[in-house]
Amino acid sequence: MTKPGGLEKFESRLNPRAVEDIRQWAGHPELGRLHNALDGHVKRKAFFDTYAEAIVARHLISHGCELQFEVPTPRGKACDFAVSIRNRRFFLHVKRADTERPARTRLTISSRLRYLERIDRPYIVSVRWREPTTDERMGKLVKTAAEFIMQASIGDELVVHDDEGREIGGVLIVAPWEGPHVSLAIGLPTGFTDETRRMRKLLRRAYLQFMPREDNVILVCSSHEGEREDFENALLGSHIERWDAFPPRGKRIAHGRAADGFWHGKGYVESSAAAWFRFSPAEEVWTGNLWLRGENQLDAELRGILEDLLGPQLTPGIPDTPE
């Protein structure tokens, strides 16, 4: 008896229309190789890494692109796709961060947390707690967190325990934001998840596949909307407080990006465009954004093409960074 291929094995988790389209690629001179690679994977990670490429290919085809798959480079690597559209061509490198996690039970949000939103500090603050909890334990978390937030800087984290040493929850100062008061984000009960480091590694791996002297675009996907910020931090650098710069008018602290960004300074100079999209195998909708390193590194026509294909530009450039 023939063992099922990857498409059959994982079909219940995939979008039916996407699977139907992918199966029609069999025998195609370019996409047939992608179809065969996909159907040949029966282990979860390998299958979904390749399925992400298939989703990208299907999305590009629907927008009128012609594709070449796994184009060899002079450096002995291969670009995932050569993309041709409107008499333009660029090389696309697709990477998936495997961030799929089991669904969480619904959290009961305590009204006590609203107190933190009244604190006069312009930060996004992630708060987590362990359930089940009591009003008394939540009260201690909020009181301790409020004292911490008043003194903390970006990147600082606090873990709060009860009188018996058991963990109640935690607080993480995530990033600056434009509002005058704290903006709360709810973190995972078991801890804060930051995929920035992993995405930075994916960006570096993609760079090794670049086609020399051509327009190259890196496209990273992951499973959760909040990871869009992790990708931006990997690309531009972690949020930091700048003590060597004057704050904007009306602000007490200047903020910038650290030197750990993929695009920091003159690093990885051949990279000028990168994008992220949410990888949801069962859904049809494409949700993504584009980042450009500098407005003058790509011509206006190609910038427009990339926005049409990959999503609106989220950040027009890199904030000032300390050298």
pLDDT of residue 235: 93
Identify the residue whose tokens are 């990670």: 45
Per-residue pLDDT of the chain (323 residues; tens, 9 = 90+): 567 899 999 999 999 999 999 999 999 999 999 999 999 999 999 999 999 999 999 999 999 999 999 999 999 999 999 999 999 999 999 999 998 765 444 455 677 888 888 898 888 888 888 877 788 888 899 899 899 989 888 888 889 988 888 888 888 887 787 778 888 877 655 555 568 889 999 999 999 999 999 999 999 999 988 789 889 989 998 765 544 444 555 555 444 576 778 998 888 999 999 999 999 999 988 999 999 997 668 899 999 999 999 999 986 444 444 33
**Positive or negative, the Cα torsion across 19, 289, 156, 321?**
positive
CB 322 within 8 A of CB 256: yes
**What values do phi and psi take at 246, rounded to 5?**
-75, 135
Instruction: Name the region of 234 (left: φ>0; alpha: ψ -120 to 50; beta: rest).
Output: alpha
pLDDT in tens, 223-248: 988 789 889 989 998 765 544 444 55
CB 173 within 8 A of CB 149: yes
The length of the chain in residues reads: 323
- Separation in Å, CA 66 to CA 7, 247, 283: 23, 48, 23
pLDDT of residue 36: 95
Residues forming beta bridges with residue 129, ordered by sequence position: 169
Helix-, strand-, coil-residue percentages of the chain, each rounded to 5: 30, 25, 45
Give the global pTM.
Answer: 0.74
Identify the residue whose tokens are 């596949």: 209
Q: Is residue 228 within a helix (H) or strand (E), and if so which, with residue range?
A: helix 227-236
Structure tokens at 187: 């973190």
Coil, helix or strand at residue 37:
helix
**Positive or negative, the Cα torsion across 308, 310, 314, 315?**
negative
